[in-house]
Amino acid sequence: MARKSVVKRIRVTKNGKLMRRKMGQGHCRAKKRGVQLHRKRLSQTTHASDAKIMLGYITNKN
């Protein structure tokens, strides 16, 4: 069964990369500089070692 928590946070691209949001965007953003917030808006690819594990979480294994 797929892990819903991972499915909500990870997106698989057309080429098979796993994209995720950078952390620190939820709340308490008033103290952060604009440059920091601008960098955090961009999506980030997951590391290759983590991608294999997360891909197993996304697919259904019954």
Centre a 10 Å sphere on the Cβ of residue 54 and count the other Cβ atoms it contains. Answer: 19
| Residue at token pair 């098979």 | 16
Domains of the chain: 4-58 (4.10.410)
CA nearest 6: which of 43, 62, 51?
Answer: 51
Low-confidence ranges of the chain (pLDDT < 70): 61-62
pLDDT of residue 62: 54
Residue 61's pLDDT is what? 64
